[in-house]
Amino acid sequence: MFRAFSAAGAILAALLSLSWGAPARAQDVTLTSHDGGVELSGTLRSYDGEFYQIETDYGLLTLAAEGVACAGPGCPDLTAHVAALVISGSATAGRRLLPALIADFAGARGLVLHVADDTRAMRHFTLADAETHQPVMRIGLRLSTSDAGLIELLDGSADLALSLNELRDPAVHGRVVALDAFLPIVGRGNPLERITTTDLAAIYAGEIDNWSALGWMEAPITLHVRDAGSGVQQALETQLLASRELPLASGVVRHDDDAGLLRALRRDPFALGVMLWSRGLAEEALTLTGRCGLELPASPLAIKTEDYPLTLPVLLYARTGRQPLQVRRFLAHVAGPSGQMAARSIGFVDQLPQRQGLDAQGRRLANAVLAAEGSEGLAELQRLLRVMEKAERLSLSFRFESGTSTPDVQSRAYIETLARDIEAGLYDGRELVFAGFTDGEGPLDVNLRLSRARAEAIRDAVSRAAPLRAENAVTLTAEGFGPALPLACDDNEWGSRVNRRVEVWLR
């Protein structure tokens, strides 16, 4: 790696394998630091409004434009630069979400938005200066599937990829931009009101294929699903079938879009399918429950906290490494309060923290009393109530990838959110209590130690993510309560996972 520095300012130079922004015509340029101490000559490859990329004797280098002056026939017109951004990926999530986020981003920056007519390949958005009407940024949307978006991101034909599936690849970094959830829905005329997560998974695996197994009439279940290439269908099968290591049932009826699936559900009383929360069908959904009787209804708060087991984060991926200026600005905006409110306005669940006092948690507390085992279990519940008596629960709950102590993708986003809010002073003079919980399996003393260790791990992760917080401005503490506050039945993997969590309380 080659680095050059000058007294006039920092010049960042790093070997890169990918070029950002629109490629420029190969020309000779000379980039000189403002004090004249550093001079580099080469062929200009790209300029993104903040950085030059030039091919030099040292390889492909990136230099900050603010630290150098450009001379030569290849130098771009800095005043006429128009940032370009291509977003590819899921049409299911992106068709409504991305235009709303782009419009909100333009409005927040005082820019006028122009939308070109749709083409088969791409929909074009131009963000222009309100006074001069000169373009400042162009965004192209190429929406099809989550998989296609990630492929285009990796091959460099897209700058961002919208996906409903988590990709674990060091070459990309994902950010949660909105939340959704899977809702089981039956055909009209079907009297079923609730279903266990175990039975729902068994239906998708083909182990249950008749309504009589669920207490209704003798009739085959017609299972309706999305097409195999849909990110929605892939994510659903991962959530329902991965832990059982079973394929999807044979004989399912597939649909190319949500509209066709919904039409099929509404005309066939023997049909069952899954729709997304963002479609506004919550009132038609079955309530998820467990064999022990604890219910898990879907709600915005339950989706934010992942108390509802079939949550679905919507992810926006970028290539790992430093992003162009406008990409960073767009990503920061969609994750911020304005972008999150825009997502909520069109039916998605935002990630903005909510607060809930003890007096609003009657269902949770009643479930805990019913599930408490012996005097020790009740004693831990009483300790919890004493600790949290005047506290409020935040909606930023943390859960872990299956079989690990690694926070899941939604929880990693919440670590960043909480750290940002701490650094902004939102909790100055207050105490944040990280409360760990476990499922009910195993001895109480082991679960108490485990729950506290998880709480301490999340507390420490948040502390590391907020290095700029004022010393002693906010107190971060950790407590472990074991299985004292169950949300779901421990008789299946979904219930156990919901119960294994770290909550954040403010007092």
φ, ψ (nearest 5 deg) of residue 196: -80, 150
Q: What value, to the nearest 5°, has the Cα angle with vertex 126 and ends 124 and 131?
A: 165
Per-residue pLDDT tens for 30-82?
999 988 888 999 999 888 778 888 999 888 898 888 889 999 998 988 777 88
Task: Give the DSSP H or E segment for 273.
Answer: strand 271-276
Who's near 106: CB < 8 A, 6+ residues apart?
112, 113, 125, 127
pLDDT for 11 beyond 50 = no
Residue 167 has a pLDDT of 86
Question: Is a pLDDT exceeding 60 seen at residue 134?
Answer: yes
Q: What is the pLDDT of residue 95?
A: 94
Give residue 24's pLDDT: 43
Q: What is the pLDDT of residues 68-127, one digit of tens each?
A: 999 999 898 877 788 889 999 999 999 999 999 999 999 999 999 999 876 667 999 999
Does 12 score more than 50 pLDDT? Answer: no
Task: Give which of 487, 501, 381 is closest to 444, Cα–Cα.
Answer: 381
What is the predicted pLDDT for the residue at 27?
A: 59
pLDDT beyond 60 at 4: no
The Cα 116–Cα 396 span in angstroms is 39
What's the confidence (pLDDT) of residue 296?
Answer: 84
For the ranges 322-326, 356-360, 369-373, 456-460, the lowest mean pLDDT is seen at: 369-373
Backbone torsions φ then ψ of 383, nearest 5 degrees = -65, -40
| 9 vs 58, higher pLDDT | 58
- For residues 285-295, average pLDDT: 87
Name residues whose C-beta falls within 8 Å of residue 233's C-beta, 6 or more positions apart in sequence: 225, 226, 227
Q: What is the sign, positive or negative, of the torsion defined by CA atoms of 482, 485, 487, 488?
A: positive
Q: Per residue in 443-465, pLDDT tens?
A: 989 999 999 999 999 999 999 99
Q: What is the helix (H) or strand (E) element at residue 174, kind and residue range?
A: strand 172-186
Measuring CA to CA, which residue among 4, 78, 90, 97 is closest to residue 42? Answer: 4
11: exposed, middle or buried (C-beta count within 10 Å: 0-12, 13-18, 19+)?
Answer: buried
Which residues, listed in sequence order, are joined to residue 69 by a DSSP beta bridge?
32
Among residues 198, 189, 183, the alpha carbon closest in space to that of 271 is found at 189
- Give dist(CA 236, CA 228) in Å, integer: 11
pLDDT of residue 14: 34
Q: How many residues does the chain have?
A: 507
Whether residue 15 is predicted with pLDDT greater than 70 in this model: the reply is no
Contacts of 429 (CB under 8 A, 6+ apart): 473, 474
Q: Judge contact between 190 and 179, C-beta under 8 A.
A: no
CA distance 435 to 383: 12
Strands 501-506 and 392-398: antiparallel
pLDDT at residue 371 in the model: 66
Range from 244-253, 260-269, 467-476 that averages highest in pLDDT: 260-269
**Does position 326 have pLDDT exceeding 90, yes or no?**
no
Mean pLDDT computed over 286-306: 89
Output Rg (C-alpha) for the chain, integer angstroms.
Answer: 26
Residue whose C-alpha is closest to residue 101's, from 274, 282, 338:
338
Q: Note the pLDDT of residue 485.
A: 86
Taking residue 320's Cβ as centre, other Cβ atoms within 10 Å add up to 12
Q: What is the pLDDT of residue 72?
A: 93
HEC string for 373-398 = CHHHHHHHHHHHHHHCCCCEEEEEEE
Residue scoring higher pLDDT (291 or 267): 267
pLDDT of residue 76: 84
Averaged pLDDT score across all residues of the chain:
88
The answer on pLDDT for 477 being more than 60 is yes
Q: Please give the pLDDT value at position 118.
A: 67
Domains and their CATH numbers in the chain: 4-77 (2.30.30), 83-179+315-330 (3.40.190.10), 184-304 (3.40.190.10), 353-506 (3.30.1330.60)
Q: What is the pLDDT, as a whole number, of residue 3?
A: 34
Measure the CA–CA gap between 126 and 105, rounded to whole angstroms: 12
Residue range 398-424, pLDDT digits in tens: 998 877 778 999 999 999 999 999 999
3-state secondary structure of 506: strand
Output the pLDDT for position 13. Answer: 35
26 within 8 A of 60, measured Cβ to Cβ: no
With a cut of 90, say whether residue 397 has pLDDT above it: yes
